[in-house]
Structure 1
Amino acid sequence: MSRDSPAPATGPGPGPGLVISTTPPILSFLVSASTDPHLSKDLQQTASKLSSKSNVPYRAIRALWVASRASTRPQLVKLFSGSGFVFTSPKPREKSEELKARLKELAEMSERNAYAELVKDITPRKDSAPEPFSSYKDQLGFGLHVVVTMFTGYLVGYAAFRALFSHSPVMNAAGGILGLVIGMLVETLIFIIQASRYDLKSSSSTSKLKKDQ
């Protein structure tokens, strides 16, 4: 019996499948198969093409070995001795333009958040309430208001004591001083009320910010 089975009319099926590295026994077998008259022209051409490759499909070598004569072909174990599997990395998946834009946006957002976290202790909060009398205009306005109130209190006290003690300049002056002190106390009370409102508003803003976080 000169051969195991009739040679196929065509080469191996589509797709390389498992790929192995070429060794001297495999190369010698491919060279002899490329000129073997018992093989079809397609198989001879396949063997000739594979003989110049460093990696060959196992399916093609198997088809050539099966179609070759048993008396001339090498043992299958010796043929694949020393050969190893060759694995190819899959082609990287291309990212869509929308995905690239989204990833870029997320990276920029992450950088902004990291920068904001880094400088949060040295930059003022945008949503924080302004401190009372923090500007020059507020301070000047409050100072003028205090002067006017104290002056008005002095005049009112002076006029009141003059009406009561018309012939006593000392009492008239004492009444003016009393009115001035009362005006100062009124301004102090107003300042305390404004400061309390600011503290209450600041506490509310801080509590809301913590809840949002």
Structure 2
Amino acid sequence: MDQPDPKNGAGLILSATEPIRSFLALASGDRHLSEELREIATDLRSKNTVPYRLLRALWTGSDPSTRPDLLGLCSGSDFVFTSPKPREKTEELKLRLLKLREIAERKEYAELVKDITPKKQVEEPFSSYKDQLGFGLHVGLTMFTGYLVGYASFRALFNRNPALSAAGGILGLVLAMLVETLLFIIKTSKDDQIQSSKSFTQSSASFTPTTKKNQ
């Protein structure tokens, strides 16, 4: 069986009881032990905890005729658990925590001033009857123009066939409607981007987050 290393005090920790202290007092003067082990025994006498590896090393090297039973020696002793070292924060984690703190501060600031800050008016498309009427006339004119162009094109291509001419007109109407829809989507998206950019600029100018130094 391998002998425990006297210099290695890691592992199981026991609370020092009276039987253990008495054994350490005897071990500090035991000639069967090396000088190093006697110094360890002397040092452990004044402590409240004893590493089991060192205690077993002292017990193994002591005089078998005078040493107590190992089980009886450890009887009544409690296990002592040490707390792990706190985890060190990496630079990446510190930066992330800093950003989260800034976001939280902005939310707190917005919550504090929401009652005194005037609400932003969102400009909705076609908010007036004039805009609605103008857009409706524009779409109607575009669809009518598309119908005429499609009708005339198919009539010229298919020898004035009424059915195919009507189909061409319907096709031109649908294409004109799709073009108007696409233009409307592009215009609405551009307006939303401009509005968002203005809102972000105003909020950045009205609030400057305070950065606290890490303790």
The TM-score bracket by the shorter chain reads: 0.5 to 0.7
Cα 1:41/1:192, change in 2 over 3 Å: closer
3-state DSSP class of the match of 2:50?
strand
The residue number in structure 2 matching 1:78 is: 72
Which of the numbers 16, 25, 43 marks the counterpart of 1:22?
16
The one-letter code of the counterpart of 2:130 is I
User: Alpha-carbon deviation of 1:97?
Assistant: 3.4
3-state DSSP class of the match of 1:193?
helix
Q: Tell me, in whole angstroms, the C-alpha distance in 1 between the residues paired with 2:50 and 2:9.
A: 12
Q: Tell me, in whole angstroms, the C-alpha distance in 1 between the residues paired with 2:134 and 2:56.
A: 91
Contact 2:8 2:54 in 1 (8 A): no
The one-letter code of the counterpart of 1:14 is N
User: Alpha-carbon deviation of 1:54?
Assistant: 0.9
Cα 1:15/1:192, change in 2 over 3 Å: same
Larger Rg: 1
Compare 63-72 and 101-110 and name the one that shifted more.
101-110
Q: Tell me, in whole angstroms, the C-alpha distance in 2 between the residues paired with 1:37 and 1:65.
A: 13
Q: Tell me, in whole angstroms, the C-alpha distance in 1 between the residues paired with 2:21 and 2:97.
A: 49
The residue number in structure 2 matching 1:65 is: 59
| Unpaired stretches in structure 2, ≥5 consecutive residues | 136-183, 194-215
Q: Tell me, in whole angstroms, the C-alpha distance in 1 between the residues paired with 2:99 and 2:134.
A: 41
Cα 1:84/1:44, change in 2 over 3 Å: same
The residue number in structure 2 matching 1:153 is: none
Percentage of identical aligned residues = 48
Q: How many residues align?
A: 139
User: Alpha-carbon deviation of 1:64?
Assistant: 0.8
Contact 2:8 2:53 in 1 (8 A): no
User: Alpha-carbon deviation of 1:112?
Assistant: 2.5
| Unpaired stretches in structure 1, ≥5 consecutive residues | 133-190
User: Alpha-carbon deviation of 1:18?
Assistant: 1.1
Contact 2:14 2:51 in 1 (8 A): yes
The one-letter code of the counterpart of 1:28 is S
Cα 1:197/1:101, change in 2 over 3 Å: farther
> C-alpha offsets along residues 19-62 of structure 1, whole Å, 9 cap, x if unaligned?
11101000000010000112111111111111111111100001
Q: Find out whether 1:54 has 2:30 as its counterpart.
A: no
> C-alpha offsets along residues 84-108 of structure 1, whole Å, 9 cap, x if unaligned?
1111111111213342222121122
The one-letter code of the counterpart of 2:103 is M
Which of the numbers 120, 126, 129 marks the counterpart of 1:125?
120
Q: Tell me, in whole angstroms, the C-alpha distance in 2 between the residues paired with 1:85 and 1:22.
A: 10
- 1:126-145 map, 5 Å: 128-129=122-123
Contact 2:24 2:44 in 1 (8 A): yes
Q: Tell me, in whole angstroms, the C-alpha distance in 2 between the residues paired with 1:43 and 1:109.
A: 59
Cα 1:76/1:131, change in 2 over 3 Å: same
Alignment root-mean-square deviation, CA: 4.0
Contact 1:21 1:84 in 2 (8 A): yes
TM-score w.r.t. length of structure 2? 0.52
The residue number in structure 2 matching 1:192 is: 129
Contact 1:11 1:43 in 2 (8 A): no
The one-letter code of the counterpart of 1:71 is S
Q: Find out whether 1:45 has 2:43 as its counterpart.
A: no
Q: Tell me, in whole angstroms, the C-alpha distance in 2 between the residues paired with 1:90 and 1:48.
A: 28
The residue number in structure 2 matching 1:93 is: 87
